[in-house]
C-alpha cells in the first residue's frame, strides 16, 4: 500500500533510540474537574497537535498522602487542605511528555494559575473560571518535573519509542 512507503513499514517504532538532543520531560496532570468535564481528549489533543510526544499516561485515584507530598511546597498556604481534597475528589490523568522545551511551552499552553489571568487560547484561559478549579497541573522547571515523575510513576511506566513524525517536526 502507498501509505506504507511513507510510514516506513519494517522499521520498528517500538525501539528506543535514545532521547533527542536537548529534549526534556514535563509532568502534566489533568485534575478531577478536567476529567469530569470531559476535557481529557481536548487537552491531550493540544499537546499532540503541538508536536509533543507522551511517554507515560495513566488514570489514577490519588491518595491523600501522595497529594500532600506532591503539593508539599504549598503546605502552609491557607488553601492547602482544600487543594488536597479537590485533587482527591476523583480520578486524575497523569502524563509525561518529552520533547524540546516541553516544560516552558507546556506552561504557556496551560496558561496562568488563576484562570482570569490566562489568555484565551490557553487551556486554563479557554476552559475554566476559578483558581480552585483550574483543571490542569504542569511543572515549571525540569528539576521539579523530574521530581514529580519519580513521585507518581515507576521507571517501567515510562515507555520510550521512536516517533515517525520527528523529521517532519524538527529541522
Whether the CB-CB separation of 56 and 157 falls below 8 Å is answered with yes
* Closer residue to ligand IDP in complex, CB, 26/134: 134
Q: Which of 8, 116, 121, 132 binds ligand IDP (CB under 6 A)?
A: 132
Instruction: Say whether 70 is catalytic.
Output: no
28 binds ligand IDP (CB under 6 A): no
Whether the CB-CB separation of 28 and 138 falls below 8 Å is answered with yes
Q: Helix or strand or coil: residue 74?
A: helix
Q: Helix or strand or coil: residue 53?
A: strand
Q: Among residues 25, 53, 70, 137, which one is catalytic? A: 137
137 binds ligand IDP (CB under 6 A): yes
* Closer residue to ligand IDP in complex, CB, 142/169: 142
Q: How far is the CB of 134 from ligand IDP (least distance, A)?
A: 5
Specify the DSSP element, H or E, that contains 67: helix 64-70
Q: Taking every pair of C-alpha atoms in the chain, what is the biggest distance, in angstroms?
A: 61
* Closer residue to ligand IDP in complex, CB, 83/93: 83
Count CA atoms closer than 13 A to 83's CA, side-chain side.
20
- Give catalytic residue positions: 137
Binding site for ligand IDP (CB under 6 A): 74, 79, 83, 113, 131-132, 134, 137
Amino acid at each position: 500500500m502507498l501509505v506504507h512507503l511513507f510510514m516506513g513499514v519494517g522499521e520498528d517504532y517500538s525501539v528506543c533510540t535514545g532521547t533527542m538532543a536537548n529534549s526534556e520531560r514535563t509532568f502534566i496532570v489533568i485534575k478531577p474537574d478536567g476529567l469530569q468535564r470531559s476535557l481529557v481528549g481536548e487537552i491531550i489533543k493540544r499537546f499532540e497537535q503541538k508536536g509533543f510526544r507522551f511517554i507515560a499516561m495513566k488514570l489514577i485515584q490519588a491518595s491523600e498522602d501522595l497529594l500532600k507530598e506532591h503539593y508539599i511546597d504549598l503546605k502552609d498556604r491557607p488553601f492547602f487542605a482544600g487543594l488536597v481534597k479537590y485533587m482527591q475528589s476523583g480520578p486524575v490523568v497523569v502524563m509525561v511528555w518529552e520533547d524540546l522545551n516541553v516544560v516552558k511551552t507546556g506552561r504557556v499552553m496551560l496558561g496562568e494559575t488563576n484562570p482570569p489571568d490566562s489568555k484565551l487560547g490557553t487551556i486554563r484561559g479557554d476552559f475554566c473560571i476559578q483558581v480552585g478549579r483550574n483543571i490542569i497541573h504542569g511543572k515549571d522547571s525540569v528539576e521539579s518535573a523530574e521530581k514529580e515523575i519519580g513521585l507518581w510513576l515507576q521507571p517501567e511506566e515510562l515507555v520510550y519509542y521512536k516517533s515517525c513524525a520527528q523529521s517532519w517536526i524538527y529541522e
